[in-house]
Amino acid sequence: MTAHAEQTAQAVPGAVQAVPEAGTDRFDFVLGLADDALVAAQRLAQWCTHGPEMEEDIALANIALDQLGAARLLLTYAGELEGAGRDEDALAYRRDDREFRNCLLVELPNGDFALTMAKLLFLAAYQVPLYTVLASCGDERLAEIGAKARKESAYHLDHASLWVRRLGDGTDESHRRMQAAVDEVWPYTHELLAPDPTAPIDPATLRVDFDSVVSGVLAEATLTVPETAWKPDGGRSGVHTEHLSYLLAELQVLHRAHPGASW
């Protein structure tokens, strides 16, 4: 361990392995995408047996499964990039909250069904153009993951768009709750698209596609975006809301209690 790492480890207990070193840009980038998918999968899976109807229960579980599939491929690749011998399980189950690089949007609690759909709409509107760009990028591994995940994300976007339109342009009550959901979640979308010219793909370049899809859906749904300058962030550097800690406790408890267990 270097002196620098020791200092950082004291400042952030448990974050030793996340200390950035030269050449980890790609690792951090891939880890961010992986954690987005992993945390989104865990949140969506929490709807299982709690869906408003059986079909929706199954739909949310299916979308969670897609996210988990992408997360596993991305975590595996991140582990290889890091070169420290960590596999997908080590990265998913043995990191603390400060070592996670997901955006804040995905860790927010599910709220009511409208809030979950607002979160899914914004996440999918970000992931579809992201995976599409990855599919034709120079990194062979990211390209194959992007090509596969892009097709699945298109279904997520379609599903969320249908519900946001149905609820927004529905009854007074469904409109009120859908608008409240958009108001609550919208500020968190800025973190998804925050410029990062050092990243393999600058998220800011996805904004045109994101805005085009989201504004179209919201207009059809008779919804508006809130006027607020608040742009919460920190997820990409490991500074999260308290919600992530509880989510990770549930996600990791079994593996940490019984390392390497299988059945």
Q: Provide the minimum distance between the beta carbon of 122 and another protein in the complex, in angstroms, as a whole number.
A: 17
Q: Are 74 and 145 in contact (CB under 8 A)?
A: yes
C-alpha 250 chain-centroid distance? 17
- Residues whose CB is less than 8 angstroms from the CB of residue 239 and which lie 6 or more positions away in sequence, other chains included: 98
Q: What distance in Å separates the CA atoms of residue 18 and residue 35, rounded to the nearest whole number?
A: 14
Choices 95-103, 149-157, 175-183, 193-201 (CB under 8 A): range interacting with another protein: 149-157
155 near another protein, judged by CB under 8 A: yes
Residues 43-102 that bind another protein (CB under 8 A): 55-56, 58-59, 61-63, 65-70, 72-73
Q: Are 250 and 116 a contacting pair, CB within 8 Å? A: no
> How many residues line the site for another protein (CB under 8 A)?
30
Q: How far apart are CA 91 and CA 165, in angstroms?
A: 37
Between 58 and 84, CB nearer to another protein: 58
By rule CB under 8 A, what string of x and - marks binding of each residue 106-145 to another protein? -------------------------------------xxx
Distance spanning both ends of the chain, measured CA to CA: 36
- List interacting residues with another protein (CB under 8 A): 55-56, 58-59, 61-63, 65-70, 72-73, 143-145, 147-152, 154-155, 158-159, 161-162
